[in-house]
């Protein structure tokens, strides 16, 4: 690995620094982020998904057969604990319907690629992390639209007395376009143009990190007034969503006798969501609810902070064992 490649790898591993710095600037000086256009979000999200695909080969999916219990538990918790937490916290904090939509979308999305970086920093089971992110992302085509429809329609009836009709098919098609297609393209490029992919693979993770930062910063800057005015309950709900995701992911794994490293990995995967996907689904499918994108931006910031703390705790625990 060349010196330049090492620099880009280091820059990618510092993703919490970029997210926190960018978020601070976006809230302090919104003009540092409002140059970004909302119509660019799906393209930058595609960069994130393509970056994941470039790291995968068709043979990598055989890992699922070698660790089926860990995969089953991680994906199972991803699509049971998180959606239920999103539902329960939306009710507990009596959030406005815009924030309910955004929070439920975050809770029903798959694990994010940032979790792979956190697992690497934490010295957890990186191969398991990548497998969990990939499988939960592929399953998102089915589970994210269905779970989102179920919980949003239920919550809207409870909170407003009216049923908010969710375009499940629209969510399904958007998920395929912004998630599955870029990953498939990445896998095919890795298979048929492997020498070229090897030359750029050290640089693409940092591009993915920058894409996350741009999306988060724009939402925070554009919705600054709403966040400052009515954001406290939402921030509390998002923090608790991720906190309990990390916590329950770890303790349920250990209760079921999984190894320490596998439990740490599952904890990180369950606790960190694809907030960029949640933001884009909110923007494109719930355009009448303009604040529905805010929970996704706050989620990205939150899980980066909590993920960094968890990575540090995992390192300390690893040194003691």
Give the pLDDT mean for 173-179: 79
Are 256 and 317 contacting, i.e. CB atoms less than 8 angstroms apart? no
Q: Which three-class secondary structure state does DSSP give residue 273?
A: strand
How confident is the model over 247-286, as pLDDT tens digits?
A: 999 999 999 999 898 999 999 999 999 888 888 888 888 8
Predicted confidence at residue 320, as pLDDT, reads 63
Residue ranges of alpha helices (H) inside 81-125 are 81-92, 97-108, 114-122
CATH at 65: 1.20.1530.20
Overall number of domains in the chain:
1
Q: What percent of the chain has pLDDT over 90?
A: 25
Predicted confidence at residue 42, as pLDDT, reads 84
Q: Model-level pTM?
A: 0.85
Angle at 41 between CA 85 and CA 145, to 5 degrees: 40
Are 227 and 33 contacting, i.e. CB atoms less than 8 angstroms apart? no
The parent domain of residue 262 ranges over 3-320
How confident is the model over 199-216, as pLDDT tens digits?
A: 888 888 888 888 888 888
SS3 per residue for 160-188: HCCCCCCCHHHHHHHHHHHHHHHHHHHHH
89: which 2 tokens? 């916290």
How confident is the model over 87-132, as pLDDT tens digits?
A: 999 999 988 889 999 999 999 998 877 787 788 777 788 778 878 8
Give the pLDDT mean for 145-164: 80
How confident is the model over 33-55, as pLDDT tens digits?
A: 989 988 888 888 888 888 878 87
């Amino acid at each position: 690995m060349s010196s330049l490649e090492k620099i880009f790898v280091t820059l990618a591993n510092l993703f919490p620094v970029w997210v926190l710095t960018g978020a601070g600037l976006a809230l302090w000086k919104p003009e540092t982020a409002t140059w970004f256009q909302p119509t660019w979000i799906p393209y930058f999200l595609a960069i994130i998904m393509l970056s994941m695909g470039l790291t995968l080969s068709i043979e990598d999916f055989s890992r699922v057969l070698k660790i089926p219990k860990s995969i089953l538990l991680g994906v199972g918790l991803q699509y049971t604990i998180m959606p239920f937490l999103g539902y329960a916290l939306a009710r507990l904090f009596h959030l406005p319907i815009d924030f309910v939509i955004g929070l439920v979308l975050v809770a029903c999305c798959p694990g994010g690629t940032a979790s792979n970086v956190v697992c690497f920093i934490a010295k957890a089971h990186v191969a398991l992390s990548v497998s969990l992110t990939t499988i939960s992302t592929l399953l998102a085509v089915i589970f994210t639209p269905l779970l989102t429809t179920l919980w949003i329609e239920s919550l809207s009836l409870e909170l407003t007395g009216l049923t908010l009709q969710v375009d499940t098919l629209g969510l399904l098609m958007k998920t395929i376009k912004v998630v599955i297609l870029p990953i498939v393209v990445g896998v095919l490029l890795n298979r048929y143009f492997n020498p070229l992919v090897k030359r750029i693979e050290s640089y693409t993770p940092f591009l993915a990190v920058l894409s996350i930062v741009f999306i988060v910063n724009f939402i925070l800057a554009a919705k600054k007034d709403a966040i400052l005015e009515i954001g406290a309950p939402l921030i509390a709900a998002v923090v608790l969503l991720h906190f309990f995701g990390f916590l329950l992911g770890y303790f349920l794994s250990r209760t079921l006798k999984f190894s320490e490293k596998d439990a740490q990995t599952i904890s990180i995967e369950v606790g960190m969501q694809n907030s960029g996907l949640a933001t884009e689904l909110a923007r494109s499918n719930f355009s009448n609810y303009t604040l529905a994108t805010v929970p996704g931006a706050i989620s990205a910031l939150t899980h980066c902070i909590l993920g960094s703390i968890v990575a540090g705790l995992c390192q300390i625990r690893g040194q003691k064992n």
